A and B are shown apart, each in its own frame.
Chain A
């Protein structure tokens, strides 16, 4: 198989892997037809045209999904559901932070706890661990519970802003 034909087919087959499932069938259809196109340069043109067609199709699919998502979000029921999920995320973040603060308070009672360790534990338990946990849980939930993840991230952003202001004021 000549190089141009091979490269063109390879390009289309690689592209088809990254398309949403309805687009994959069409990409395969275009790819199969490319085998029957006469002339190497005609194959290249066929593949370039197919690529353009698939890009248009993917964009239209994405826009359709976005439109559906937005119209769902804009309904009163959808907004209430989103708000509830977001508040749930914030609540979980607050509960986790409270547990971290309680742990820190518990450690303060330890007689072995010197001021250097206290400062380190403060930063670790009240900033680093909660922020890491927020980020990890938001990433884990992002696909299935996006608004819940947004709530967690919002709480994390507030905590981070608070921590930055605290450190700037005390250093």
Chain B
């Protein structure tokens, strides 16, 4: 089932976003804003990462009476993988060079 994990530029951006606060749980919209990725690009990456056990997910109720939100964090394997494949700051520098968000 597990096909090799492709490392596109967008995937590196997502990994880099997680590496900024590696132990924190993050929301999808928050990652989308940090990486400038739309939901149509971001979620397939998150799904693939979860399928490859690089990402752990959980539901968290933020406010009473409101539906829970899905949160994401790198697993131990995911953290190791991200550190191996994303040299610190690389993606953020690329995004700035391409005229994207400044780090």
On A, residues with C-beta under 8 Å from B are: 25-26, 28-30, 32-33, 35-37, 45-54, 56-57, 64
On B, residues with C-beta under 8 Å from A are: 1, 27-29, 38-44, 47, 57, 66-70
- Nearest CB of B to A151, in Å: 30
Q: Which residues of B contact A37 (CB under 8 A)?
A: 29
**Are A49 and B27 interface neighbours, CB within 8 A?**
no
**Are A33 and B27 interface neighbours, CB within 8 A?**
yes
**Out of B44, B57, B68, which one reaches A53, CB within 8 Å?**
B44
11 pairs from A and B in contact (CB 8 Å cutoff): A29-B28, A29-B43, A32-B68, A33-B28, A47-B39, A49-B40, A49-B43, A50-B40, A51-B40, A53-B43, A54-B43
How long is the Cα–Cα vector from A29 to B71 in the complex, in angstroms?
A: 8
**Are A33 and B69 interface neighbours, CB within 8 A?**
yes
**Are B38 and A49 interface neighbours, CB within 8 A?**
yes
**Are A45 and B70 interface neighbours, CB within 8 A?**
no
**Are A32 and B44 interface neighbours, CB within 8 A?**
no
- Nearest CB of A to B6, in Å: 13
Q: Which residue of A lies closest to B71 (CB)?
A: A29
Q: Which residue of B lies closest to A54 (CB)?
A: B43
**Are B70 and A53 interface neighbours, CB within 8 A?**
no
- Nearest CB of B to A50, in Å: 5
**Are A26 and B29 interface neighbours, CB within 8 A?**
no
Q: Which residues of A contact B42 (CB under 8 A)?
A: 49, 53
Q: Which residues of B contact A53 (CB under 8 A)?
A: 39-44, 47
**Are B43 and A26 interface neighbours, CB within 8 A?**
yes
**Are A57 and B40 interface neighbours, CB within 8 A?**
no
Q: Which residues of B contact A47 (CB under 8 A)?
A: 39
**Out of A28, A49, A64, which one reaches B39, CB within 8 Å?**
A49
**Are A57 and B69 interface neighbours, CB within 8 A?**
no
How long is the Cα–Cα vector from A22 to B86 in the complex, in angstroms?
A: 29
